[in-house]
Amino acid sequence: MADERLTDIKVLAFDVFGTVVDWHGSITREVEAMQLDVDAQRFALAWREGYKPAMKRVSDGLQGWTKIDALHRQILDELLPSFGLSDLNEAQRFHLNLAWHRLDPWPDTVAGLTRLKRRYVLTTLSNGNVSLLVDLARHGGLPWDCVLSAETFRCYKPHPATYLGVAQLLDVAPEQVMLVAAHHEDLEAAAACGLRTAYVERPLEYGPAQSKDVSPRASHTLHARHLLHLAELLGA
């Protein structure tokens, strides 16, 4: 904590998909559990691939405000034919879509958050909608002080209103908030708003078959292997 950029941090805001929970492993398991005749890992990746373009349609104003649950469902409905799964019925689609509410935390998540909570206010800052984030917290026992979402601000990250909105609602200056994420783009947008940033390596985010470059970048305030390592770096 000799680093003066760290001494005044009051709030840790967490990206969720990939950073706190393992979407790839969880979606893969859910697809396998439904015994669909499909490569579950490839299906999980394809579903997730539709995520950024779908949010971009909303951010660009081509589609009115739409929560992630509805975007996930749009992507799913578009995806199923290309996987030969057009005959999934409504109940199956509904169930599968809610798999995003049942994502498991990474093994270090709960222990890491619990340690960090002793010293910092912990909030989510996720593009996932509020009900999804609440379900994930109950499912995984995530000890948030506060659940903030793109839905709270009605715009998606990386829009500045999301990062600055966290500071405003929690009544701190932007530089008193540290965004914790496994994605450079998210962290860079937060840094541009004056937030501190912590990159968390999640080498398995896209599954064991796909490699992810988790090498440090100088632009981030901190580089942590996982959330217990982040607690250590922050002296929490």
Q: How far is the CB of 121 from a copy of itself (least distance, A)?
A: 6
Q: Among 15, 22, 30, 151, which residue sits at the site for a copy of itself (rule: CB under 8 A)? A: 151
Q: Which is nearer to a copy of itself, 143 or 216 (CB)?
A: 143
Q: Which is nearer to a copy of itself, 67 or 220 (CB)?
A: 67
Within 64-123, the residues that bind a copy of itself by CB under 8 A are 69, 121
Q: How far is the CB of 147 from a copy of itself (least distance, A)?
A: 5
Q: Among 34, 170, 191, 236, which residue sits at the site for a copy of itself (rule: CB under 8 A)? A: 170
Q: How far is the CB of 214 from a copy of itself (least distance, A)?
A: 32
Q: How far is the CB of 143 from a copy of itself (least distance, A)?
A: 9
Sheet (strand 222-224) strand order: 146-149, 121-126, 11-14, 177-181, 196-200, 222-224
Report the SS3 class of residue 149: strand
Closest CA to 32 of 23, 24, 41, 21: 41
152 touches a copy of itself by CB under 8 A? yes
Question: Judged by CB under 8 A, which stretch of 73-81, 89-97, 129-137, 218-226 contacts a copy of itself?
Answer: 129-137
Burial zone of 62 (CB within 10 Å; 0-12 exposed, 13-18 middle, 19+ buried): exposed
Question: Judged by CB under 8 A, which stretch of 30-38, 76-84, 132-140, 154-162 contacts a copy of itself?
Answer: 132-140
CA–CA separation, 224 and 131 (whole Å): 29
Phi and psi based region of residue 207 (left: phi greater than 0; alpha: psi -120 to 50; beta: remaining):
left
138 touches a copy of itself by CB under 8 A? yes
Q: Which is nearer to a copy of itself, 58 or 121 (CB)?
A: 121
Q: How far is the CB of 145 from a copy of itself (least distance, A)?
A: 5
161 touches a copy of itself by CB under 8 A? no
Helix (H) or strand (E) holding 222: strand 222-224
Question: How many other CB atoms sit within 10 Å of the CB of residue 226?
Answer: 17
- Dihedral sign of CA atoms 178, 188, 5, 193 in order: negative
162 touches a copy of itself by CB under 8 A? no
Q: Which is nearer to a copy of itself, 12 or 40 (CB)?
A: 12
Q: Are 18 and 202 in contact (CB under 8 A)?
A: yes
Burial zone of 82 (CB within 10 Å; 0-12 exposed, 13-18 middle, 19+ buried): exposed
Query: Which residues make up the interface to a copy of itself (CB under 8 A)?
Result: 69, 121, 129-131, 134, 137-138, 145-147, 151-152, 169-172
